[in-house]
Homo-oligomer: A and B are copies of this chain.
Amino acid sequence: MNIPNTNLPRIVIIGGGFAGIALAKSLKNQRVQVVLIDKHNYHTFQPLLYQVATGGLEAGSIAYPIRKVVQEYQNFYFRLGFVNEIDTQNQKVKADIGDLRYDYLVLATGSKTNFFGNKEIERNSVAMKTIPQSLNIRSLILENFEQALLTNDIHDRHSLINFVLVGGGPTGVELAGALAEMKKAILPKDYPDLDVRKMQINLIQSGERILDTMSEKSSQAAEDFLINLGVNVWKNVRVTGYDGSTVTTNTDLTFESATVIWTAGVQGALPSGIDTNAIIPRADRVKVNEFNQVEGYDNIFAIGDIAAMLSDKNPFGHPMMAQPAMQQGKWLGENIVKKINKKPLKPFVYNDKGSMATIGRNKAVVDLPKFHFHGVFAWFVWIFVHLFSLIGFKNKAVVLTNWIYNYIRLDREGRLIIRPFKKKNVTSFVADEV
C-alpha cells in the first residue's frame, strides 16, 4: 500500500465510521504512525440515511471526506480499499489494494445488514446501511410511483405503492415516519392523477413492541405517532419470504408489494482470519475485553458495532449505536498510547447518554437514562443533537437550511431519480446512464 516504514509503531485502523474516526482523532499527532483504511473515501452519518432515502437531504450533506478529517495529522495515512482478510500470524491485513503489516490492528468495520441466511429476501429486498443504498431506495420509491401512473392493472398499481418495511428499530421507524410525511404533504401534489390515499406503509416488527431497545413508554409513544400518521404497525409478525411480489410471514398475513425495505437485523462486517473462538457465531461480532482487546490477541482491538464487550451488566455488549462507538474510539486511542508506553490500560466505561428517534414533523421520543419524554420538545432535542453531531460546519449549515425549508414548506426537494434503480434489473444498470 506504499506506506513508508518508520521507527514509529504502526496502528492500522479498518473503518472510518463513528468508532474509527473517533480513534483517529484521539491518536492525532501522537508518536505513532496511523493508517486508516475504508472502502469509502467519506465518513457516513448513518442516523440520517433515512432522510437521504426520502429526499429530505442530499447525500453530500451527511457524508464527510475522511481525508479532510485527517488532513493535518502527522504520520497519518488514509487508503481507500476493502480489507478481506487478516493474517494474524504475520501481522498483516490483506486488502484489494495490497497487503499491509501492522503493529497494532483495530477493527472498526461496523455492521452490515443481516438477512439471516434468507437468500430470496436478500435478492429481492433493499437494505439501508450505506449512502448508495439510501439513494437506491430514493430512486426505487419514486420509480414505483412513476410506474404506477402507467399501469391500468389495479393489482400492479397497488403493489407499486404498497411499501413494506421490515424491522421496528430506529431505522424502520424513522423511515416509516418520513414516508408517511411524504404521503401526506408531497405525493398527492406530485401525483394528482394517482389516488395516493391508496398508498400503504407497513411496518413489521417481529417482537412485542417497536423500538424495543428504548423504554416502553417511548415505544408506545412512537407507535401512537406512527398510527396517527397512517402507518400500519404489525407486531409479533416475522417475515419469512419475499419473491419480489409477495411477502409471506409466520402468520397468515401476506403483502403484495414491489418494495420491501429490510432493516430487521445487523451483523458484524467482519474480515476473515480472526480466530473463531473470538467470534460470536451468526452475529459475526468479536468478543473484546474491557480494553477492547479481541479475545486471544494482544495487539488486535475492536471498537464500535463489531465489538461485543460482554459483561454481566451487558450480556449482549453495548448497543450497536454511534455513542458507544465514539466513546470506545476515543478511549482506545488513549489506551493504545498507554500500551506503547508500557503503562497500565484503563478499562472502558460507557457513559450512556440515552437514545432517541424521530417519527416525523414535531414528533420524537427521547430516553435519557432517568427520564423519558416525547413530542415537540423531544423533536427539538433530536434536531439539536443531530445537527450538533454532524461533522463539519458546511454540512451543519446546509442540513439546517434544508430542515428549515422542509419544515416551513412541508416539502422535500430531493425527490430526484439521479441513478435509476430496480432491484430486479441490476444487471441492466450502466454506470454512465445519461
| Cα distance, A58 to B131, chains bound together (Å) | 14
Copies in the complex: 2
In the complex, which residues of chain B have a beta carbon less than 8 angstroms from the beta carbon of A72?
A: 189
Cβ of A208 < 8 Å from any Cβ of B?
no
In the complex, which residues of chain B have a beta carbon less than 8 angstroms from the beta carbon of A152?
A: 2
| Cα distance, A393 to B143, chains bound together (Å) | 25
Chain A interface size, as a band, is: 35 or more
In the complex, which residues of chain B have a beta carbon less than 8 angstroms from the beta carbon of A395?
A: 413
Known: A190-B71, A193-B77, A398-B402. A416 touches B65 (CB 8 A): yes
Cβ of A372 < 8 Å from any Cβ of B?
no
Cβ of A159 < 8 Å from any Cβ of B?
no
Known: A413-B68, A419-B431, A431-B421. A97 touches B150 (CB 8 A): yes
> Which residues of chain A in 143-197 are interfacial with respect to chain B, using CB atoms and an 8 Å cutoff?
143, 146, 149-152, 189-193
Residue contact A149 to B79, C-beta cutoff 8 Å:
yes
Residue contact B80 to A416, C-beta cutoff 8 Å:
no
Give min CB distance, A39 to chain B, whole Å. 8
Give min CB distance, A88 to chain B, whole Å. 24
A434 CB contact (under 8 Å) in B129, B192, B417, B429? B129
Residue contact B431 to A60, C-beta cutoff 8 Å:
no
| Cα distance, A416 to B71, chains bound together (Å) | 15
Kindly report which residue of chain B lies nearest to residue A405, judged by CB atoms.
Answer: B394
Kindly report which residue of chain B lies nearest to residue A406, judged by CB atoms.
Answer: B394
Interface positions of A (Cβ within 8 A of B): 1-2, 40-42, 58-61, 63-65, 67-68, 71-72, 77, 79-80, 97-98, 112, 126, 129-133, 135-136, 142-143, 146, 149-152, 189-193, 392-395, 397-398, 401-402, 405, 409, 411, 413-419, 421, 423, 426, 429-434
Q: Which 5 A-B pairs have the closest CB atoms?
A: A58-B60, A429-B431, A67-B190, A58-B58, A80-B146
